[in-house]
Amino acid sequence: MSKSTPEASNELEADTRTAVENVTDSDWERWRSFTAEAYECFHEKLLASRLQFPGLSDYSSVERARETAGTFAWAWGAAAEIQEAINSANAWGMRLHEWGAWRQVVDSYELDEDKWELLYHFVEPIAFFCMFQPSSLADRLMIASEALLHQANCKVFSGEPDRLDQDSLRPGKTLRRSDRRRQLNRLGKRWSNFNAFRNALWAMDGADYQRVTGNFRDLSAHSFAPRLMMGQVSRAIRSVAPLQEVVAQPEGDYLLVDHPTKKCVRYEMGVLQPLPLDTSHAANLAEYKKALIALSAFAALIDELCARMDG
């Protein structure tokens, strides 16, 4: 048997490296061609669906707040908080429009492998962002309106104490959403435009949306959320429950009955089914339309606050 020379080994390594590079280049070219085609289709769908898009929110209330002679805290933070809330809503709206276009692109491909590539690289990052917005924007609007109402109350109503419910909490703790709602009702009760804003805000991120989306936002933040369109998540959920015993019944049959005192470890084997892409998008779009109503009512409330402080 002949021994390989250093020159032969180097040539073999070079040939192997060239073959790997050729495969990599070929895969890259296929990927580039695939994504270029998908992006072209995406832009066509995006353009075609412009008239169906519900639109964005304007920034007139930001300037209104900036020009108002409120308290020092109002002058420092009111316009910025309003602007950030509108920025969040408009970013959501633009990504939601893109999600709708990508959804149509995904539907136009037949192979599951192609659909999966589009979902992984283009759809999931956008959808993930959008699915978080109903809850986060509702909280952001609640916090902003709380600050605006409190500062306006301090400015307009003589003897109004500079005190909020969270003042009694330990440092670093915040009010629960239910407690913040209760406080917001108290802060806004003297303003005529508050009820319309409150009702629109309360309508956001409701139980129906959480049900349709499989509680996606909370599970994504704290556990395991369902996938979008394709893929299952298998889970074994552990709990401690009453021990069950088979007990004979007078009729001669048997019944599984919880023991009154004994406990045992129980595992529930389940599978999270994927969320349909069209259903999730439709639910998120409905929430965005609610957000537009809330922002419009928010602007009307801001205008009332500013008019009273300027008067």
- DSSP single-letter state for residue 210: H
- Would 3 be classed as within a structural domain? no
Residue 7: per-residue pLDDT:
57
Q: What is the mean pLDDT of residues 80-104?
A: 97
**Residues 152, 261 share a domain:** no
- Would 151 be classed as within a structural domain? yes
**Residues 122, 92 share a domain:** yes
> What is the band of 3 on the pLDDT scale with cuts at 50, 70, 90?
low
Tens of pLDDT, residues 189-236: 999 999 999 999 999 999 999 999 998 888 888 888 888 887 888 888
Residue 220: per-residue pLDDT:
85
> What is the band of 76 on the pLDDT scale with cuts at 50, 70, 90?
very high
- Grouping H, G, I as helix, E, B as strand and the rest as coil, residue 245 is strand
Residue 9: per-residue pLDDT:
55
Q: What's the whole-model pTM score?
A: 0.85
Q: Which of 28-42, 133-147, 222-236, 291-305 has the weakest average pLDDT? A: 222-236
**Residues 171, 73 share a domain:** yes
CA distance 309 to 229: 51
As a whole-number percent, the residues of the chain with pLDDT over 90 amount to: 66
The answer, yes or no, to whether residue 114 has pLDDT greater than 80, is yes
- Would 259 be classed as within a structural domain? yes
Report residue 96 as tokens.
Answer: 């939601």
**Residues 250, 113 share a domain:** no
- Would 7 be classed as within a structural domain? no
The answer, yes or no, to whether residue 301 has pLDDT greater than 90, is yes
- Domain extent, residue 73, equals 18-229+277-310
- Scanning the structure block, which residue is given the tokens 């959501």? 92
**Residues 238, 306 share a domain:** no
**Residues 248, 189 share a domain:** no
CA distance 70 to 124: 43
- Would 295 be classed as within a structural domain? yes
**Residues 202, 190 share a domain:** yes
- Would 10 be classed as within a structural domain? no
- Would 289 be classed as within a structural domain? yes
The answer, yes or no, to whether residue 142 has pLDDT greater than 80, is yes
> What is the band of 14 on the pLDDT scale with cuts at 50, 70, 90?
low
Residue 231: per-residue pLDDT:
81
Q: What is the mean pLDDT of residues 230-258?
A: 86
Give me the half-sphere count of Cα atoms (radius 13 Å) on the Cβ side of residue 253: 3
**Residues 133, 90 share a domain:** yes
Q: How many domains does the chain have?
A: 2
**Residues 199, 99 share a domain:** yes
**Residues 261, 145 share a domain:** no
Residue 94: per-residue pLDDT:
97
Which alpha helices (H) appear in the chain, and where do they start and end? 6-48, 60-66, 72-107, 112-118, 124-156, 177-188, 194-202, 207-212, 216-222, 277-310
CA distance 278 to 107: 10
The answer, yes or no, to whether residue 18 has pLDDT greater than 60, is no
The answer, yes or no, to whether residue 19 has pLDDT greater than 60, is no
**Residues 258, 170 share a domain:** no
Residue 147: per-residue pLDDT:
97
- Would 170 be classed as within a structural domain? yes
The answer, yes or no, to whether residue 125 has pLDDT greater than 90, is yes
CA distance 105 to 223: 30
Tens of pLDDT, residues 253-296: 888 888 888 898 988 888 878 889 999 999 999 999 999 999 99
Q: What is the mean pLDDT of residues 174-188?
A: 94
**Residues 267, 119 share a domain:** no
